[in-house]
């Protein structure tokens, strides 16, 4: 029984495709089995739904107090990779917003958890004026949100 060249070629291609499929499935299974961590990601938004860029997102692992932090990008997105499984507290801080705290989120092996975080507008702080004029004629003012001291010359 003789096969034509075309039949041999078709049979070889079939065997090759089956082998590639088996190797692909085996590789995917092995990579899943080797994952021992979780990822956490999400978007930080203000009360109107606008994204908050530059917010600091900190995760604190319960029991060990190990922490990791990142900063949201221009789209308000954050991602923290390769976190050991367990319970975490998430804290988000941004200028002009109240600090947001999510007390407990549980991460499991191989999980990519999506946790969007809403921020509330912070209380408006008034400028504190020191009215005691110094001998050099300057009035010192503390600007609470900017950590800047403003000096204004009041004249002679």
For the beta carbon of residue 42, count every other beta carbon within 10 angstroms. Answer: 20
Q: Is there a contact between 90 and 67 (Cβ–Cβ < 8 Å)?
A: no
Cα 7 to the center of its chain, rounded Å:
56
pLDDT in tens, 83-98: 999 999 999 999 999 9
Token pair for 7: 């039949």
- What does the alpha-carbon distance between residue 154 and residue 142 come to, in Å, rounded to a whole number? 16
CA distance 37 to 84: 5
Q: Which pTM was predicted?
A: 0.59
Half-sphere exposure of residue 68: CA atoms within 13 angstroms, side-chain side: 12
Are 109 and 39 in contact, with CB atoms under 8 Å apart? no
**Over its length of 156 residues, how does the chain's per-residue pLDDT go in tens digits?**
566 777 767 777 887 777 677 767 666 555 555 579 999 999 999 999 999 999 999 999 998 989 999 999 999 999 999 999 999 999 999 999 999 999 999 999 999 999 999 999 986 442 233 333 334 444 444 444 444 444 444 444
């Amino acid at each position: 029984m003789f096969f034509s060249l075309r039949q041999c070629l078709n049979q070889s291609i079939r065997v090759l495709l089956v082998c590639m499929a088996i190797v692909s499935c085996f590789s995917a299974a092995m990579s899943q089995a080797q994952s021992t961590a979780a990822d956490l990601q999400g978007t930080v938004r203000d009360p109107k739904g606008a994204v908050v860029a530059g917010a600091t997102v900190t995760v604190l692992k319960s029991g060990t107090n190990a922490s990791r932090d990142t900063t949201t990008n221009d789209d308000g997105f954050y991602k923290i990779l390769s976190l050991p499984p367990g319970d975490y507290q998430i804290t988000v801080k941004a200028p002009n917003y109240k600090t947001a705290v999510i007390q407990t989120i549980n991460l499991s092996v191989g999980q990519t958890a999506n946790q969007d975080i809403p921020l509330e507008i912070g209380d408006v702080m008034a400028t504190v004026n020191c009215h005691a004029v110094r001998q050099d004629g300057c009035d010192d003012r503390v600007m609470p949100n900017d950590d800047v001291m403003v000096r204004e010359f009041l004249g002679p």
